[in-house]
Each structure stands twice: as C-alpha cells, then as structure tokens.
C-alpha cells in the first residue's frame, strides 16, 4: 500500500486545481438544473448517470466490478454521506440562495474535516495552526450568516445551515473513505461503488417525495446541466478525488473546497446575475484565512523568508 504523503507535489496541486474548477462548475450546473428538476430527483439523475458512465469505463479498461459484502456496506455508507445527504442539501439550498454563496459555505468542509480526522485517525491530528484555522473559519461562517439567525430561521438562513450540514457530511465521508486504501481497489472502482449505492437509496426517495414519475420533461437547458453534473462534475471528478485521497490524505484533498468558490463565483455572477453582499466577501476572507492556517504552507514560507530578509537588510546596512 502506498503511504500517504503529507506534502503535495506539483502534479498533485495541478490535479487539485482541475478538481476545484470542475466542482466549481457543479454549483452553476445545479443552479440551472434545480430550476426545473426537484432536488432529490436531480441528485438521483446525477448519481445514476455517473454510475452508468463509470461502469462503462470499468468495462472498457477491463477492471472488474467491486465485490464483497464488507466493501458494499462501506459503499452504501459513503454513498449516503458523500452523495445523498450533501448533494440533496446543497441542491435544496440553491433553490433559496445564490450558487456562489453555497460554494463559499461549502468551503468550510476542511474546517470540519480536521476535527473529524483528529478524532478518528492516527496520522492527521490537530495542531496549533489547525485550531486557529478552524476558529477563523467558523468566525467567517458566523459573519456570512449574520445576526439574523438569532431572530428566526427564515428559508435563506435554513439554506445556509443546510450548506454547513453538507460540509459536515463531506468531512465525515472523507475520513471514512480512507478505508478504501486498505481494500485493494482502484480509484475508479472506489468512485463507482458509492454512486451505485446512492442510486439505490435515491430511487424510492425520488419516486415518493418528488413523485418524479409525474414530473414534466425538463427543458434542454436543465437536461444539459444534469449531464454536466453527472459526467463532468461527478464521474470524472470522483476519479480524480479518490486518486488524490489515496496519495495525499483526506485533509489535503479537502482543501479543494478552498479553491472552488472563485470559479463558482465567476460563473454565478457572470452568467447567472448573482451578487454577493459585503458580509459574504468578509466571511469568505475569514474562511480563506482559516484554510491557509490549516494548510500551513503559506505561513511556513513566510517564516522562512523573514530571517532571510532580515539578514539581507543587515548586510546592506553594513
């Protein structure tokens, strides 16, 4: 088994950047699709199409389908926590709030991941920098949601809280997903299994809650957004995600949510006419500060550069 590397190579960062762009686009796709397709039905369509696509890819490259009861139990847990719950919450939230705001709140995933990883893993423990980062990030969430939460839970506040709950679900699933490394399966098999399990969970929910069998056929724009969600933002993205998780660990790979908001904001503001309030920008800045503290690379580089700058200044004066 390849050991997890705490440090990320240039290739790892490139894959993380690509993943962030793909998942930033998922907020745009979801905002377009959810205007015509109810959230649970949209999630079902997303995971089913993605599962079919990955199943065809597995057959094309000659990889067998995953087998074994313990493995499929884990697939169903991952499917629930990494797909059904967060997708459903985020899609419903985007019926009430802007996709850009949803993406910023989703960027809190690493904040919760470090807490979950500290509690349930041996090699990703809290440090002083991570504690400071979590506190700064949670302060950013409080600034974004604002004091309105104290006067009542309107639908916008509930939608923001749903995004936070989705982030917590992602954090738990990311930590559980580490177990796949010990099961001898490929990243594509790891991505395929939870999507199949999610489809099985969501089929009855879509029929009972959304009455999907009675819904009108959505327009081409919504269908195109659904296909983009399924094939690009799910099937392709999950192959990258699980490959990175196996290489660099859950805390590193969930830093992708730090990079998602810029592309989601550009698409939301530029193509959907959304706008961000000053409190949203301030909250995003605090979350970014917190995530940079959790990662630690920027701060370590600044500490290394400070003595060098002082030495250079001293040489110049002498």
Alpha helix positions (H), 206-296: 220-227, 237-248, 250-253, 256-272, 278-295
High-pLDDT (> 70) share of the chain, %? 86
User: pLDDT (tens digit, 9 = 90+) per residue, 248-262?
Assistant: 876 677 677 777 888
- Distance between CA atoms of 166 and 148, rounded to whole angstroms? 21
User: pLDDT (tens digit, 9 = 90+) per residue, 222-239?
Assistant: 999 999 999 999 999 988
On the question of pLDDT at 53 being above 90, the answer is: yes
> Around Cβ 306, how many Cβ atoms within 10 Å?
10
CB contact set of 129 (below 8 Å; sequence gap of 6+): 293, 294, 296, 299
On the question of pLDDT at 138 being above 90, the answer is: no
| pTM higher than 0.75 | yes
Closest C-alpha to 294, from 50, 124, 174: 124
């Amino acid at each position: 088994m390849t050991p997890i590397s705490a440090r990320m190579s240039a290739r790892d960062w490139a894959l993380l950047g690509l993943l962030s762009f793909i998942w930033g686009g998922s907020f745009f796709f979801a905002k377009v699709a959810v205007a015509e397709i109810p959230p649970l039905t949209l999630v079902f369509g997303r995971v089913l199409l993605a599962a079919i696509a990955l199943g065809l890819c597995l057959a094309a490259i000659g990889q067998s389908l995953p087998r074994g009861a313990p493995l499929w139990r884990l697939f169903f847990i991952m499917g629930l926590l990494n797909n059904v719950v967060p997708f459903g919450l985020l899609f419903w939230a985007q019926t009430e709030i802007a996709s850009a705001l949803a993406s910023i709140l989703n960027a809190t995933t690493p904040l919760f991941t470090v807490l979950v990883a500290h509690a349930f893993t041996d090699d990703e423990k809290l440090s002083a920098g991570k504690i400071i980062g979590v506190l700064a990030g949670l302060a950013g969430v409080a600034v974004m949601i604002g004091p309105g939460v104290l006067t009542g839970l309107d639908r916008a506040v509930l939608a923001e809280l749903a995004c936070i709950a989705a982030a917590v679900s992602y954090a738990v699933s990311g930590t559980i997903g580490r177990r796949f490394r010990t099961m001898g399966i490929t990243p594509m098999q790891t991505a395929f299994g939870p999507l199949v399990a999610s489809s099985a969970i969501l089929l009855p929910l879509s029929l009972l809650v959304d009455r999907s069998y009675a819904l009108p056929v959505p327009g081409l724009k919504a269908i195109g957004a659904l296909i983009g969600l399924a094939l690009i933002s799910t099937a392709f993205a999950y192959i990258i995600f699980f490959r990175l998780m196996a290489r660099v660990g859950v805390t590193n790979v969930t830093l992708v949510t730090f990079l998602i908001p810029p592309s989601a904001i550009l698409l939301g503001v530029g193509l959907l006419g959304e706008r961000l309030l000053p409190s949203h920008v301030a909250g995003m800045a605090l979350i970014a500060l917190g995530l940079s503290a959790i990662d630690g690379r920027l701060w370590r580089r600044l500490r290394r550069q400070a003595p060098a700058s002082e030495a250079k200044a001293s040489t110049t004066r002498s």
